[in-house]
Chain A
């Protein structure tokens, strides 16, 4: 938080958002026995960890962190995850998609993308540990379906979201009551926008995986999207490998997340870029949400975040 304003008692936008998120973290920890924080390695989940740390300071974050590892992550992201977990002294639980494929509980789609089969692995892991409150870093500005999501998003025994049957949410009074097997997904960043996140990262000097900053990379251009050539993407016949200066706006699976051309190699330049960009975060970088107008809504109904 910035210093209090003792003349007008005003709170800036970022401080207001921070205060609201901290309130939500504390509320959940006070009312649920088995909370967990979802960690994807992306900037939003790193901001979530920072907020959780602030909410309980000087105590440690009083819940474990869960990462659903598709086996197709960027190396830089996994490194950052492990560093953070070590430094904050939190327990890391990994739900492995590779393991689930190996033991036959999910089937890898023919195209090799693992985004969709993440959901059953997530749900299994949550069930195994009987987690009741699951923190996610989703923001309402990300997508039209998310715009209707509550801060406390009720899920039935199957982890499913029913957009027509959401609990009304008034003031900052959250209803934490659930029956056995049901759970609540909690979104403290609901009211943040992408730009708020970047301003906060800059202010808090949060360290992000290096791939968020502009760097040279070998990529292929697939339908206007730039994918990094590497372990998960090999150039197809007729595809030219280009060396470009790029950065990532979101971090998902290496084979699904596209890079954007950029010279923004500092946080200030990124903020400038984000403030003037004309394409949404997901539109620019996610192959997975493009299938239909309602792709995100369908996935959320199934239990995705």
Chain B
């Protein structure tokens, strides 16, 4: 059994909460006391039937405003998989939340209302999913019950979206007609849509192939922490602890430590459970080298013949996430990339991207909350950078405002070096 992380996006009222509620309910993840609480609230509000959306609307402010305002995480499991849902709000003012949810997602689920078809926001959601390199996208056409389960309506939406998606280079796209309210095609195939020959949503989620989405080629091991036990038994022990960010490390491999360029060989790969032959993402392991060289947090262990760019200059797409400040050329931030933190200056804002039209505004002077743009950065220290498209773990970074300490931007490296 493995884990599938999915991010959901939809505009208000497209039925996202109902759909998630339905998945939780039909996979028996919802408990009797949670259902009782939802029934009580539905009744108090005078709603006709039990409102499954209430299962996922967490915070008080949300309950009062009737909308989802932050990323909420939900869990359910079937016999095949464990699922982690990052449930994000769809409105443009919550772009940063969607970006956050999509950053770790294997699959993005974009919801549309069958009556309304593809809206500007649906395009935006699909764009953000591809910007964050979510490998699989599912377009869920909801509320099919309100269009008489019409194949024509579905086909039209399907075509329109496929045409648009061609521009985005979505690696894997699936389109599914459902009624979240009635459960059609959510957990099992619906008899109301005999013309549909695909699988139910859950069946797709259970079977979509994600193992090969990881980069198993480029060995990347960012050193997180150096383990040096203060005891006589382990006097000379020096272990480099970290989580494998790419490739397969093997005992005996020749390695290079960046940025220093020192070379050595892997003597031991181990965990608290003992030595292992090989390590791959996302394993957390400890590596010991044959030679006693200087290695510390923020360094990266790679293969000599396959190295990332060691560079102070980076081109990146950034999503600005702070409501108080703006990104402007000349501004300085702390940058956190893998396990390395440095300072960086924005050399240039090449353009701001309109997330709805994908138009590039090269006259833009700043980026505000939820805006996305392309920047050129120069850092005080070299970073071991890969293109985000090649490896999300070594291509993503965050910017932190050194005054307020807030996380102000998420960045995806487009060109390193």
Contact = CB atoms under 8 A, between A and B. Distances in A.
A166 B70 contact: yes
A1 B271 CA distance: 8
A117 B58 CA distance: 25
Contact of A30 (B56, B70, B82, B225): B225
A175 B100 contact: no
A147 B74 contact: yes
Contact of A59 (B31, B57, B227): B227
Contacts of A263: none
A38 B369 CA distance: 36
Interface in B65-109: 69-75, 77, 81-82, 84, 96-97, 99-100, 103-104
B224 interface: yes
Interface in A1-34: 1, 3-4, 6, 8-13, 15-20, 22-23, 26-27, 29-30
B278 A170 contact: no
Contact of A26 (B96, B99, B224, B336): B224
A4 B2 contact: no
A171 B396 contact: yes
B228 A59 contact: yes
A13 B1 contact: yes
Contacts of A13: 1-3, 81-82
Given A1-B283, A26-B241, A175 B104 contact: no
Nearest to B37: A293
Interface residues of A, number: 64
A59 B229 contact: yes
Contacts of B397: 173
A279 B33 contact: yes
Contacts of A106: none
B82 to A, nearest CB: 5
23 contacts: A3-B276, A4-B278, A11-B2, A16-B3, A17-B3, A23-B243, A30-B224, A55-B241, A58-B272, A59-B228, A59-B231, A60-B231, A144-B56, A144-B59, A147-B58, A168-B96, A168-B407, A173-B337, A178-B405, A190-B73, A193-B75, A278-B32, A294-B60
Interface of B: 1-3, 31-34, 37, 41, 56-61, 63, 69-75, 77, 81-82, 84, 96-97, 99-100, 103-104, 211, 214, 216, 224-225, 227-231, 233-234, 237, 239, 241-243, 248, 271-273, 276-280, 282-284, 286, 297, 321, 334, 336-337, 339, 392-393, 396-398, 400, 402, 405-407, 410
Lowest 9 A-B CB distances belong to which pairs? A283-B33, A57-B272, A54-B272, A59-B229, A144-B58, A22-B284, A177-B405, A170-B103, A19-B284
Interface of A: 1, 3-4, 6, 8-13, 15-20, 22-23, 26-27, 29-30, 53-60, 140-141, 144-145, 147-148, 163-164, 166-173, 175, 177-179, 190-191, 193, 195-196, 277-280, 283-284, 293-294, 297
